[in-house]
Structure 1
Amino acid sequence: MGLCLPYGHVDSSLRALAGQAEGFGRFAVGGLHGAVYRVITLADDGPGSLRDGCRKKEPLWIIFEVSGTIELSSYLNVSSYKTIDGRGQRIKLTGKGLRLKECEHVIICNLQFEGGRGHDVDGIQIKPNSKHIWIDRCSLKDYDDGLIDITRESTDITISRCHFANHDKTMLIGADPSNITDRCIRVTIHHCFFDGTRQRHPRVRFGKVHLYNNYTRNWGIYAVCASVESQIYSQCNIYEAGQKKVAFKYYTEKATDRMQECTGCVKSEGDLFAPGTQSGLIPLPRETSVFHPSAFYETWTVEAPSADLKHFLQHSSGWRHTLRPADLVSS
Structure 2
Amino acid sequence: MASLPYADVDSSLRALAGRAEGFGRFAIGGLDGPIYCVTTLADDGPGSLREGCHKKEPLWIVFEVSGTLHLSSYLNVSSYKTIDGRGQRIKLTGKGLRLKECEHIIICNLEFEGGRGHDVDGIQIKPNSKHIWIDRCSLRDYDDGLIDITRQSTDITISRCYFAQHDKTMLIGADPTHVGDRCIRVTIHHCFFDGTRQRHPRVRFGKVHLYNNYTRNWGIYAVCASVESQIYSQCNIYEAGQKKKSFEYYTEKAADREEVKSGLIRSEGDLFLNGAQAYLSTVANEECVFHPSEFYLTWTMEAPSDSLKDILQICTGWQSIPRPVEQMVIG
Q: Could you say whether these structures have the same fold, taking a TM-score greater than 0.5 normalized by the shorter chain as the test?
A: yes
Q: CA deviation at 1:279?
A: 1.0
Instruction: Say whether the 8 Å CA contact 1:108–1:136 is kept in structure 2.
Output: yes
Partner of 1:285: 284
Q: Distance in 2 between matches of 1:190 and 1:200?
A: 15
Q: In terms of mean alpha carbon deviation, does 282-291 or 83-92 score higher? A: 282-291
Q: Distance in 1 between matches of 2:287 and 2:2?
A: 35
Helix, strand or coil at the partner of 1:129? coil
Helix, strand or coil at the partner of 2:281? coil
Instruction: Say whether the 8 Å CA contact 1:12–1:327 is kept in structure 2.
Output: no
Partner of 2:71: 72
Q: Distance in 2 between matches of 1:291 and 1:131?
A: 20
Q: CA deviation at 1:284?
A: 3.8
Amino acid of the structure 2 residue aligned with 1:145:
D
Amino acid of the structure 2 residue aligned with 1:156:
D
Please give the per-residue CA displacement for 1:84-118, whole angstroms capped at 9, x wherever unaligned: 00000000000000000000000000000000000
Please give the per-residue CA displacement for 1:248-300, whole angstroms capped at 9, x wherever unaligned: 00000000110100000000000000131111112143596100000000000
Q: Distance in 2 between matches of 1:47 and 1:91?
A: 18
TM-score w.r.t. the length of structure 1 is: 0.97
Partner of 2:213: 214
Please give the per-residue CA displacement for 1:159-195, whole angstroms capped at 9, x wherever unaligned: 0000000000000000100000000000000000000
Partner of 2:193: 194
Q: CA deviation at 1:322?
A: 0.7
Q: Distance in 2 between matches of 1:279 and 1:116?
A: 32
Q: Distance in 2 between matches of 1:26 and 1:159?
A: 11
Q: CA deviation at 1:5?
A: 4.0
Q: Distance in 1 between matches of 2:286 and 2:64?
A: 56
Q: Distance in 1 between matches of 2:100 and 2:297?
A: 29
Instruction: Say whether the 8 Å CA contact 1:184–1:207 is kept in structure 2.
Output: yes
Partner of 2:94: 95
Aligned CA distance change for structure 1 residues 119 and 321 (closer, same or farther; 3 Å): same
Q: Distance in 2 between matches of 1:288 and 1:52?
A: 48
Instruction: Say whether the 8 Å CA contact 1:265–1:284 is kept in structure 2.
Output: no
Amino acid of the structure 2 residue aligned with 1:198:
R
Instruction: Say whether the 8 Å CA contact 2:232–2:267 is kept in structure 1.
Output: yes
Amino acid of the structure 1 residue aligned with 2:64:
E
Partner of 1:46: 45
Are 1:84 and 2:83 an aligned pair? yes
Amino acid of the structure 1 residue aligned with 2:48:
S
Instruction: Say whether the 8 Å CA contact 2:212–2:234 is kept in structure 1.
Output: yes
The 5 A counterparts of 1:1-331 are 2-3=1-2, 5-285=4-284, 289-327=288-326
Amino acid of the structure 1 residue aligned with 2:170:
M
Instruction: Say whether the 8 Å CA contact 2:264–2:286 is kept in structure 1.
Output: no
Q: Distance in 2 between matches of 1:182 and 1:286?
A: 21
Q: Distance in 2 between matches of 1:5 and 1:76?
A: 32
Q: Runs of at least 4 residues of structure 1 off by over 4 A?
A: none
Q: Distance in 2 between matches of 1:288 and 1:271?
A: 17
Question: Which structure 2 segments of 5+ residues have no match?
Answer: none
TM-score w.r.t. the length of structure 2 is: 0.97
Q: In terms of mean alpha carbon deviation, does 3-12 or 64-73 score higher? A: 3-12
Instruction: Say whether the 8 Å CA contact 1:189–1:212 is kept in structure 2.
Output: yes
Q: Distance in 2 between matches of 1:92 and 1:113?
A: 6
Amino acid of the structure 1 residue aligned with 2:137:
C
Q: CA deviation at 1:151?
A: 0.1
Q: Distance in 2 between matches of 1:3 and 1:168?
A: 30
Q: CA deviation at 1:328?
A: 7.4
Q: Distance in 2 between matches of 1:219 and 1:275?
A: 12
Helix, strand or coil at the partner of 2:322? coil
Amino acid of the structure 1 residue aligned with 2:197:
R
Q: CA deviation at 1:324?
A: 1.2
Q: Distance in 2 between matches of 1:287 and 1:106?
A: 33
Aligned CA distance change for structure 1 residues 259 and 85 (closer, same or farther; 3 Å): same
Q: Percent identity, aligned pairs only?
A: 79
Q: In terms of mean alpha carbon deviation, does 5-14 or 153-162 score higher? A: 5-14
